[in-house]
Amino acid sequence: MLRKINLLILGLLVMLITSCEDDFLETTPTDSIAEVEAFANVDNMFLVLNGLHRVMYAQNPISGGTSSRSGQSFYIPALDAMGGQMIHSSPGNGWMRSELRWLTHTNANFTTVNNFWYMRYHIIATSNNLINLIEEKGFSESDEDVRNILGQAYAYRAWAYHQLISTFAKGYLIGSPATDAGVPLLLITGAPYTSAPRSTVQVVYDQINADIANSISFFDGASKPDNKSHLSINAAQGLKARIDLTQGKWQGAADAAIAAREGFPLLDETKWLSGFNTVELSEVIWGGTVIEAESNFFQSLFYFIGPTFNGSQNRSNPKLINKEVYDAIPSTDFRVNMALPLAPNTNSSASNGEGGSFETDPNYTSAEEFFAAKTEVLEKYGMTSAHNTHPYMAVKFLQKNPGSIDPDDVLYMRSSEMYLIEAEAKAMLDDVTGAQAVLQVFGASRDTAYDASVYTSKEALMAHIKWQRRVELYGEGFSFHDHIRWDEGIDLTNSGADDNLYRDGFIQEKPSLNDAWIWKIPQDEIDANPNLTEADQN
C-alpha cells in the first residue's frame, strides 16, 4: 500500500480532465496538478469527490489496479456469482469463471483481491485528505458546501472500511471481534506512507461507526447533492443501517433504514420491470450516473449481467436466477416476470448439457416450437440474433438501448433494501408484529395477495426475509456477505447451476466453520507493508 496510494489525487484528477469544463482543469497541465491546488478551495475539492464517484464504477486507471476489474461494475455481479444467487449458465468467454469457482479470492496473487483492496484504500486515502486538509487549512465547518464535502468524505471512508472488514476478516457475528485480525487502519494524510499493521475487527468497526456518525452529522446543514452519484444524508443513513446490521445492532439498523428511505418511494410494477438501468428510479438512494465518455463498455455492469448487452459474455452465457428461489415466487407477485423459466436452451455449450436443440431441451418437442420461442424472447427484449437464451434466464437488468454496448447507470442502494433491513432487524429483536408490519408494506407493493401475518415467529420471518432479499436484491451484490451474516453455507444442488462449471463454488460449508469465506490479503500488500508478514495472511 505504501507505493500504491501516493499518486491517488493526480490519478483521480486526470480522470476528470476530459469530462469537466472547470477552468482549473482547462488551464492546469495534467502533470503539474499538486495537492496544494487540488485542495485549495471548495470547488476543487468537489472535483476530487467527482473522481471518487467515477472510481466507484469506471475502468480503474489508478496505481495498484487494472481496468479488468472495474470497480463496483465488476464486484457487484462477482459477489452475487460467488454467493450462488446469480447463476452462470456456461463458461462463456471466461469472465468470472474463476470467481464462481472460488479460485480468485482464495489466492493472494489474483487481480480480484488486488483491485478490491486497493480501490477501497484509494478511496480511504482521498477521504483522509479531504477530512484532514479541511481542518488543517481552516475551512469553516459551518459552510454548507464544506459540510457536504465532509459528509461525503466520512461516508466514503466508512463504506470503504466496511467493505474491507466484511471481506478480509471473520464475520462480526460469527467471530471474536475484540481479537480477530482486521485490516490496516489508515487515517493520516501525506508522506511518509508508513501504512499500519492489522487492527482488530472491533477497532476497525469503532472507526467505521464514528465515521458514519460524523457523516450524518455533517450532512445536517449541508448543501444538497447535485445528483445521486453524490452521497447524501439518506445514503449515509443507509450505510449506517448496513453497518449496524452487520454488527447485530438491530435497533440502530432499523432506525437508520427508516431514515434512509424517506423520500424514496417503492417502485410500481412498470418501473420495477423497466430494467434497473437508471438512478432516476424513485427507489434509488445512491448510484453511479455513468458518463458515456467514461463508460466501461465491455467491462461495465451490464456487460456482466444484462441479457441484452451486445457482448460475448452475455451472448454466450445468459445469467440465471437460482431456480429454488424463483420457483417460490407466487403468480400474484409481479417479480415472477424477472426471469424466463421456459426460455429455450439455445446454447450448445450450456453447462447443463441440454442446450442447442429441441432434442436436448426437455421443455420443447419440435424445432418449430423451439425456434419460435427463441424469436419471441429476442424480439421482446431487443436482443440480437447472436444472443443465446436459457431456462430461468434473468431479465431484471435491461439496457435503455437493448442490443447495444451503450452505458447504463450502476445502482448501489435502493429503498427496498432498507425495508428488508428494518424487517430483519425487527425479526432479530423478536418484534414479530413490527417485522410483519414493515413486510406488509413492502410485500404488498410486489404481490397483490401478500399477507405477512402468516409469518408468526422469528424463525419464519427470517426464512421469508432471506428469500425476499434473494428475489428483490438479485444481481445487486449482497448475497456473499449475506451468507456470512447469516452463517449459511452454499449448496447449489437444486439451483440450476452445474457442478462441473462451479466446482468448489458449488458447495461450501458455513462461514463460522470455513475460513475460505475470508479473502486473502493481496500478496503485493504483504510484500510492501513493513508492518505485515506472511504470518498476517488469512
User: What is the reported pLDDT for 206?
Assistant: 98
Number of Cβ atoms within 10 Å of the Cβ of 521 = 24
CB 82 within 8 A of CB 505: yes
User: What is the reported pLDDT for 198?
Assistant: 97
User: What is the reported pLDDT for 191?
Assistant: 62
Mean pLDDT of 386-402: 97
Could you report the per-residue pLDDT of 215-270, keeping only the tens digit for each?
A: 999 999 999 999 999 999 999 999 999 999 999 999 999 999 999 999 999 999 99
Question: Which of 28-37, 198-207, 330-339, 443-452 shows the lowest per-residue confidence on average (mean pLDDT)?
Answer: 28-37
pLDDT at 61 over 90: no
The single-letter DSSP state of residue 333 is B
pLDDT at 318 over 80: yes
User: What is the reported pLDDT for 6?
Assistant: 46
Q: How confident is the model at residue 393 (pLDDT cuts 50, 70, 90)?
A: very high
Q: How confident is the model at residue 94 (pLDDT cuts 50, 70, 90)?
A: confident
* DSSP secondary structure of 29-87: -GGG--HHHHTSSHHHHHHHHHHHHHHTTS---STT--TTS-THHHHHHHHHHHTTSEE
User: What is the reported pLDDT for 398?
Assistant: 98
Number of Cβ atoms within 10 Å of the Cβ of 220 = 9
* Antiparallel, parallel or unpaired: β 410-414 and 490-491: unpaired
Nearest to 398 by CA among 379, 414, 383, 413: 383
pTM of whole model > 0.75?
yes
- Report the number of secondary-structure helices (H) and strands (E) in the chain: 22, 10
User: What is the reported pLDDT for 482?
Assistant: 98
Mean pLDDT of 491-511: 97
User: What is the reported pLDDT for 1?
Assistant: 57
User: What is the reported pLDDT for 140?
Assistant: 95
User: What is the reported pLDDT for 69?
Assistant: 79
pLDDT at 64 over 60: no
Q: Tell me which range, 125-134, 192-201, 480-489, is most confidently predicted by mean pLDDT.
A: 480-489
From CA 225, how far away is CA 231, in angstroms rounded? 7
Q: Look up cell 454548507; give the residue.
A: 144
User: What is the reported pLDDT for 35?
Assistant: 65
Mean pLDDT of 472-490: 98
Mean pLDDT of 48-58: 90
Show the cell assigned to 389: 437464451
pLDDT at 27 over 60: no
Could you report the per-residue pLDDT of 2-11, keeping only the tens digit for each?
A: 445 544 444 4
pLDDT at 490 over 60: yes
pLDDT at 392 over 90: yes
User: What is the reported pLDDT for 9?
Assistant: 47
From CA 484, how far away is CA 171, in angstroms rounded? 6
User: What is the reported pLDDT for 266?
Assistant: 98
pLDDT at 12 over 80: no
Share of the chain above pLDDT 90, in %: 84
- CA 419 and chain centroid, separation: 18
From CA 305, how far away is CA 327, in angstroms rounded? 20
Could you report the per-residue pLDDT of 177-224, keeping only the tens digit for each?
A: 999 999 999 998 766 566 899 999 999 999 999 999 999 999 999 999
CB 419 within 8 A of CB 438: yes
